[in-house]
Chains A and B, each alone.
Chain A
Amino acid sequence: MRYLVIGFFLIALSLCLSCESFVSLDPPATQTSTQIVFSNESTATSVVVGNYIDMFNKGALTGISVTNGLYADELRLHSQVELVEYYNNALTSQNPSVLGLWSELFSYVYSANSIIEGLEKASGFDLSVKRQLIGEAHFIRALSNFYLVNYWGRVPLVTTIDYRINLNLHKVDVSMVYSSVVQDLVVAEELLYDDYSFFNGDRGRPNVWAAKALLARVYLYLGDWSNAEKYATEIINRADLFNLADDLDDVFLVNSKEAIWQLKSVYDMGVNTTDGETFILSAVPSRFSLSPTFVDDFDEGDQRKVKWVGVYEESGLRYYYPYKYKIKSGVPMPPITEALVIFRLAEQYLIRAESRANLSNFQGAVADLDILRKRAGVDLLVDSGVLDDTADLLKLIYRERKFELFTEFGHRWFDLKRSGESVDILSQIKGTYQKTDDLYPIPLNELNADPKLNPQNDGY
């Protein structure tokens, strides 16, 4: 009996020596292996939409309406320590929200690369879906690189998910980043669906028109006027898909005909858009409000001031806020009726007007501007005599952009930089803006983690 027990015990011990299998575990139920994810249509789609969920939830990219608004001349700061650096144009490399934006944008680049790499290897599902997903990945990567280059100038171009390769990357010239953005968009144009029917008319997923809209914007930023005009025209010509909303209050509704791509709320109720949530005032502002000087600058009778600027009054004081989005959230929890518009038709008119002005098609430019001015209820330019000077017309175009696109995805500051007026205009208002403030500092954490990102941008 004793020997039996000892023997049993020794067998048990020797089992331990070969108990390799005891410590090899299956993936937990909460994690799905990458191989499986990309060999399946629905899970691959889930990876793609994961990016939009992150955009909605992480909020650094969608938050540029606020940060750019403060950094430029749209918003007035009341109190919020973290935002003071934006308002004073005194960002430091340790600013957490600068790091947030940087890493959020690069996380989309990673995700896009993983989708491209994963799906190119995968087989066995519907080709058109696969093309759309790869197209979306290229679009997402282009969008991210577009913002990276506009905030930081020279940045590394990341095209793989292998960190060992990526750790050796150096920053590349701005033109190289742009050409990669263009390349990605051209590929996306090839691959993406060309209308919204695949999503039952829902405008929440980018299709070929989103790619074209970004291309038009990219060419505009690059000063490639004819390409900018070409792409804007292609979009404007699709009246079956896109129309300007007659009522300014309808522009930002879910699936508005003016929207080319909008970011949908990830909820069924409650927060519709982060812009509505953060801008709309229901008390004396403790963070930021629309700058009174900005509001005063609107033309007399501009319906955009009437409909898109909200007013909160308390003890004789008036505070303004952007009111493009009407729903703040709160009680009762509203159903989702608004969505954050990232590309819309009005911008394409402005892109085309600017391109035409630069190409000396003054009539065409004025016509495009007047379409927007008419909707806004202000005097038409065509009635105010001949406009045949590019510079004069550009001034009007930038002014139109200011009031049409205010606090929308950071347009204002990018426009000021593009026009070369950022220092002139902003230093008048705040006195602190310098040329080097046209670029953000590379976050210190990143410089520490990757010394190859040196040198830091000037002025930091």
Chain B
Amino acid sequence: MMSAVKSKPSYLPLAADTGGRYHLLLGLAEGSACLLRVLQELQNFAPASWQRTQVLFASTRASAAAAEIKADPFEEIGFEGAVLFTDGAALLAHARTILERSLMGTRVYIAGPESFIGRALQLAAAFNLNKDEIRAEHIGTAARRVHCVHCRAGTEDVRTNIVRCSGCSRWLLVRDHYSHRLAAYMGVIVDAEAPGELPPIREIYS
């Protein structure tokens, strides 16, 4: 239908930013693999950097199909002191307390499903951290949080191109236009011009 939307976020594989002085790693589920890679790179660059590195990790399973994730995968490479959680919300609440004490020169690394990244970026923005200080890698489910432009409700964990709004029950087209402020994709009624005529519903954000 429409050509690719340039406001859709794009992510790159995480790599250690050796220009940073302090490193805060935040990961959910499959994101542990990305954080491990960053830790290895930091250690290769300067073993002392681990003393200025913190890791927060939540091992929640994003979907039944996800491989079993170890509770503390970081001990295996010798990194001690990773703080473990069972859900992303608790992890981010703790991250907030760390950011309140953090200093300029900090780099934040985020790895996990997109909605976790979105929440983490909202938190980082509150501390005036910008794209030069944050790196994010999307791994795991592509399920989206959708913001209904009509009733403003948020619908979580959306995997289909069309979704019923959790607030007003309209059928929404899940667009690629993304708001960092809301950490959500735009949802607009899909059948305004021909009420009741829905395009085929496909699971495309799994």
B is bound to A: no
Binding site for B on A (CB under 8 A): none
